[in-house]
A and B are shown apart, each in its own frame.
Chain A
Amino acid sequence: MIALLQSSLPTLTQPKIVGVALVYFAIVAVIATWATRRTKNANDFFVAGAGIGLWTLAIAKMAATLSGFAFIGGPGLVYTIGIGAVFIILPGAISNALGAWVLAKKMRLLGEVRGLITVPDAIGARYRSRAAQGLSAVGILIAVVGYMATNLLALGLVIDAIFGTGLGAGIWIGTAIILTYSVAGGILAGIYTDVFQGSVMAIASAVVFFFALKSGGGMDHLSQTIMQADAKYLGPWGTIGPVAAISFFFVFGVGSLGQPHVIHKFYMLKDPRQLKWYPLLMTVALAVTQLLYVSVGVAMKGLVVDGALLPLVKADQATPTFLLHYTPTLVAGLVFSGVAAAIMATVNSFMSVGAAALTHDLPVAFGHRVTNELRLGRISTVVLAVIAAGVAQVSGTLVAFLGIFGWGLFASTTVPALAIGLNWSGATRAGAIASIATGLGITLAGETLAYFKVYSLPTGLSVSGLSLITSLLVFFAVSRLTSATAAGQIDPDIKLVMEV
């Protein structure tokens, strides 16, 4: 995603691509209108009335997990640093089963027993702590605005490239499209458009994978070609070395347990027994959709090494350049619609999570309960989107900075308190609050110092990794020191959910 923000995409204003994109947006509009009519209350707006099926859950979660980075920035990163970039998506083979065992059942049953609707809700209920819930909501709000701004800028770039609207207009047109269905139908509309959008992403990725292998003459030929020119590129860690590569694996593996826009969807499943096949469906859907990520980056490297293409000026042009040269125009149109789909699905999820933090979690943290959460949820969605779009338009490179720490901030403030806390009765309120504060502090301070070039971590280390491991260790240490208080901090119904 960050790479996508650093330069514009090539112009794609060709009739077939524009046509495919228009058809795509029209289908999104039809689905959103249908879903919007079913949104009657706050429960529908924030957790889709806890009434969705397994296939819907799996595809919607996949669509929310992958942003435009999977289609544009990711292949560009593979083109630049080789196999090292694959460690960002490598945990996908494990992380869905991990999420299922650690969180899925417990989150869904928390929704069942208490009617909870947000991730901070679960943290507040687990520790009987409004402070923990409020602090978690603050972390989510900060990350959500940054993430949304990053994604809206990326969407503006894609709309500008396809329709020639100009970047500023592209940002606001994209924001308006997402807002239209998010405000009216909330997450319910988002979920059903996600199913369509996720399907577009999966089909686009699978089709491009075959074109990528074909263009390089097969995997063996591609590897031999690249190895002649750059031995490290296809080495197990790419050009970034083992510490950086394995650090990616840690942050995106363990950190997957802390992404609120993804894990809050567990509340939405109608029948918790359907979770049985959730990891299989989600893992396969994710694996198929990530085929493009790896194949296009490697194919472009091979084509450049082979002399078939000139070296790219900007890495994020890997996907557009490949599509325009090596796939039929209709396929290119499908993929660019897939990019828009990925971004829109992610932004809609962020809108829902952010609006819930604003209208539900923060008031609860201060001991209040909003009387009309549906109405205020809609207003909050508009406010957050306008702020994020404004940030995307005026702040230049700052928006990339805001997007960088999103994943790390979510992970370090949520994994210890929620993922481990729901599985360990010895975890304490003090441990949860200390770990959330640690994650917030280290991520914000570390990324700010790095952005302003005051201090940078040693090569290979990321602030996200450091903040996640530090918040985990602080969580264990403080919980241990305050262990005498642990037993009295869990309500009987929450304890039941933790034990069944």
Chain B
Amino acid sequence: MKRLVLTLVIVSCVTVGIGYAGAFFPGGEPSWSPWCLAIGTNGALMSLMALGAMRRGSLPCTLVLTFVGMFLLCAGAFVAALALPANEGVGGALLLGLPLRTAIVLYGVGVVPIFILPFSYALTFDSNTLSDGDLERVRAAHAEFVRRAGTEL
């Protein structure tokens, strides 16, 4: 699974790179350039989180669902804003005080993740991030490091 996640990080970065490269085209950026940036950036963010959350090459199912869901939400919000027709003029529809496309991006990317990601981290912390046993192993490694350094001196 680690290989897959790492591949996703690289593919996401390449996608961002392609998006940037498009901006150098003569005559202005092609229409696919912002799409590449939107999908690549969100892919990079979510796959990096997955890479960091991996333990011994695997991820718990809840975190897989969290990261996939967050990617679909955030990338989907950007894509929706790119794909929907502009309707921000006089009489345009408002959602929670903002024009529809803007609301989709700001609430979808800027607000919803606040209620999901920190709680996913906290709720999986003991089982997946750091246990007492992990700390003991690290402290034993520290003692070994100090002993070895003392011996070398």
Give min CB distance, B31 to chain A, whole Å.
10
Interchain CB contact (< 8 A) of A218 among B52, B97, B111? B97
Q: Is the CB–CB distance between A227 and B99 below 8 Å?
A: yes
Within the assembled complex, what's the spacing in Å between the Cα atoms of A97 and B121? 7
The reply to whether B13 and A102 form a contact with Cβ atoms under 8 Å apart is no
Measured between beta carbons, the chain B residues less than 8 angstroms from A235 are 86, 88, 99, 101-102
Q: Mark B23-38, 1 if CB is under 8 A from A, else 0.
A: 1100011000110011
CA distance A426 to B126 in the complex (A): 27
User: Which of A112, A232, A236, A257 meets B105, CB within 8 Å?
Assistant: A236
Known: A218-B97, A236-B105, A250-B37. A420 touches B138 (CB 8 A): no
- With known contacts A93-B109, A109-B138, A275–B130 Cβ distance under 8 A: yes
**Residue with the greatest number of chain A CB neighbours at <10 A, chosen from B37, B51, B82:** B37
Residue of B nearest to A282 (CB): B118
Determine which of B24, B28, B144 lies in contact with A493 in the assembled complex, contact meaning CB atoms within 8 Å.
B144
Cβ–Cβ contact A458 & B101, under 8 A: no
How many interface residues does chain B have, given as a range? 35 or more
Interface flag for B10 (CB, 8 Å):
yes
Give the nearest-CB partner of B29 in chain A.
A243
User: At the interface, yes or no: A369 with Cβ under 8 Å from chain B?
Assistant: no
CB distance from B45 to the nearest CB of A (A): 5
**Residue of B whose beta carbon sits closest to that of A108:** B130
Whole-angstrom distance between the Cβ of B27 and the nearest chain A Cβ = 11
CB nearest to B26 among chain A residues:
A458
- Which residues of B have CB within 8 Å of A456? none
Task: Give Cα distance in the complex from A457 to B96, angstroms.
Answer: 37
Complex Cα–Cα for A241 and B22 (A):
14
In contact, B134 and A500 (Cβ under 8 angstroms): yes
| A424 touching B51 in the complex, CB below 8 Å, given contacts A94-B45, A243-B33 | yes
A496 at the interface (CB under 8 A from B): yes
A467: min CB distance to chain B, Å: 11
B120 to chain A: which residues have CB within 8 Å? 97
- Residue among B86, B105, B111, B118 with the most chain A CB within 10 A? B118
Interface residues of A in 100-147 (CB under 8 A from B): 100-103, 105, 109, 112-114
Q: Which of A3-11, A154-162, A304-312, A469-477 contacts B (4 or more CB under 8 A)?
A: A469-477
Contact of B49 among A101, A426, A472 (CB under 8 A): A101
Residues of B96-153 contacting chain A, CB below 8 A: 96-99, 101-102, 104-106, 109-114, 117-122, 125-126, 129-130, 132, 134-135, 137-139, 141-142, 144-145
Total count of chain A residues near the partner, CB < 8 A: 76
Whether the Cβ atoms of B117 and A97 lie closer than 8 Å is yes
**Is B88 within 8 A of A254, CB to CB?**
no
Binary interface encoding of chain B residues 51-85 relative to chain A, with 1 for a CB under 8 A from any of its CBs, else 0: 11111100000000000001000100010011000
> Chain B residues with Cβ under 8 A from A93's Cβ?
109-114, 117
Residue in B6, B45, B82, B125 whose CB lies within 8 Å of A276: B125
Complex contact B121–A279 (CB within 8 A)? yes
Q: Report if A423 contacts B (CB, 8 A).
A: yes
Docked CA distance A257–B45 (Å): 10
Please give, as numbers and ranges, the residues of chain B lying within 8 Å of A249 by CB-CB distance: 41, 109
Q: Which of B20, B24, B90, B142 touches A114 (beta carbons < 8 Å)?
A: B142
A234 touches B130 (CB 8 A): no
Which positions in B face A, CB cutoff 8 Å?
A: 6, 9-10, 13-14, 16-17, 19-20, 23-24, 28-29, 33-34, 37-38, 40-41, 44-45, 48-49, 51-56, 70, 74, 78, 81-82, 86, 88-90, 92, 94, 96-99, 101-102, 104-106, 109-114, 117-122, 125-126, 129-130, 132, 134-135, 137-139, 141-142, 144-145
A residues bordering B, Cβ < 8 Å?
Answer: 83, 86, 90-94, 96-98, 100-103, 105, 109, 112-114, 218-220, 222-224, 227-228, 231-232, 234-237, 241-243, 246-247, 249-250, 253-254, 257, 272-273, 275-277, 279-280, 283-284, 287, 419-420, 423-424, 426, 457-461, 465-466, 469-470, 472-473, 476, 492-493, 496-497, 499-500
A-B contact pairs, 14 of them (CB 8 A): A91-B45, A93-B114, A97-B120, A98-B45, A103-B52, A105-B129, A219-B97, A219-B98, A223-B99, A231-B92, A279-B121, A423-B52, A424-B51, A497-B138
